[in-house]
Amino acid sequence: MVGLSDSQGSVVAVDRAWTVPVLVKTPEADPETDMERAMGRLHDGLVAQILVQGLEHGQVLAVLDISRFLTETLRETAGRAGVKIISLLSKRRGTGSGIVPGAIALHPREPARSLKSKLPTLLDRFASFSPASDLTQVIQTSCLRPACKTQSWNTLTTPYPSVTSRTKLGLADCEVPSLVRAAWAHASAADKQQSVNTSHLLHIKPDALTPVDAEAVQHQPCLLDWPLHDPLPALIQPLLATITFRPDKTYWLVGLTVALGQSLARWMVDRGARYLVLTSRAPRLDLTWLASVETIGAMVKAFPNDITDREAVHVAYRTITPTMRPGSRGRVIPSFSIS
């Protein structure tokens, strides 16, 4: 599954290495059509790379019943690797995406002897995307040598999400980032977008998808469109008017001494705070930032402190009390992390 989303609108969490920033250009009047073409080419690019992956120069890959558009992408990808592609069709198709130039026509019930006469004797890989399961079985059992690797939708996809141990550990040899980047480079080729036909992709609205539908479409490329719902009206008040800080109190920010803490401290100073203490295990304040805050009239101090050590917190409090405004009451903002 590959998703295209606004970086500010996505609620899907993935490894940063698996994401590819893209610049979407929509010169046409219908930007949705442009994105459908790009996603169609992205699908074809990913499948083509996976099919060719591991094959060496001069080896042969035979594919059964893939669309004309995927065939074009596969031949282009295989050509760069020096891999020979043999296209097979289980029936003659009339018009549209079924016409594959140079494909070998096979009858769904063609006998093994006839199939052997049409197929090369030394196939290195065979990939079947055919609904004719009997034909696929005859080819696999009677026409392929034992060393020939076979692939299908079942081997390329899974109905359940999974992450390999090497990917989960973030090891450098994870193949997903390079595959996604290469596929998107293929998908975004402007000179080829116009030739893409997305009619072979099944268009689905997620809110109308039933379990029966999901089972039926799991072995074919689908384009799911999550439409944006109409915005809900909400009364919003500016933070400047609703949140202020007392200038006669000291505010203690725990675990916030670097960029995030300094940004929060400046936001508080702009809203009235004049005494702030920032603590962490190893506090680091930017001197330029500190000077800019002091020019407003604020006093900012940084102390080393381990929030997990109760006694250390008491020591820090006893240090802060005589240092900052006498008699002030401290407010603690717990430390946190953003990932």
Residues in the chain, total? 339
Asked whether the CA dihedral 199, 66, 156, 111 is positive or negative, the reply is: positive
List the structure tokens of 85: 């592609």
HSE-CB of 318 using CA atoms within 13 angstroms: 6
DSSP for 262-291 reads HHHHHHHHHTT--EEEEEESS----HHHHH
pLDDT score of 160: 60
pLDDT score of 97: 45
pLDDT score of 63: 92
- Given a contact cutoff of 8 angstroms between Cβ atoms, the answer to whether 60 and 122 are in contact is yes
pLDDT score of 95: 39
- Given a contact cutoff of 8 angstroms between Cβ atoms, the answer to whether 172 and 8 are in contact is no
Q: Which pLDDT tens digits describe the chain residue by residue (339 residues)?
A: 677 666 555 555 666 667 777 766 655 555 566 677 777 788 888 888 889 988 999 999 999 988 888 888 899 889 989 999 999 888 744 334 457 788 888 888 889 899 989 888 889 999 998 877 888 889 988 889 888 999 888 887 766 655 554 444 444 456 777 777 777 777 776 455 445 566 666 777 766 666 655 555 656 677 777 665 666 676 766 655 667 788 888 888 888 777 778 888 888 888 888 888 888 888 888 888 888 888 888 888 888 888 888 888 888 888 888 777 654 555 555 544 443
pLDDT score of 339: 37
List the structure tokens of 274: 């004049």
pLDDT score of 61: 93
pLDDT score of 168: 46
DSSP for 220-250 reads S-EEE--PPPPPPP-----HHHH----TTSE
Strand segments, DSSP code E, in 26-137 are: 60-64, 84-89, 104-105, 125-128
What the chain holds in terms of domains, given with CATH numbers, is: 16-224 (3.40.50), 245-333 (3.40.50.720)
Q: From CA 120, how far away is CA 117, in angstroms rounded?
A: 8
pLDDT score of 338: 41
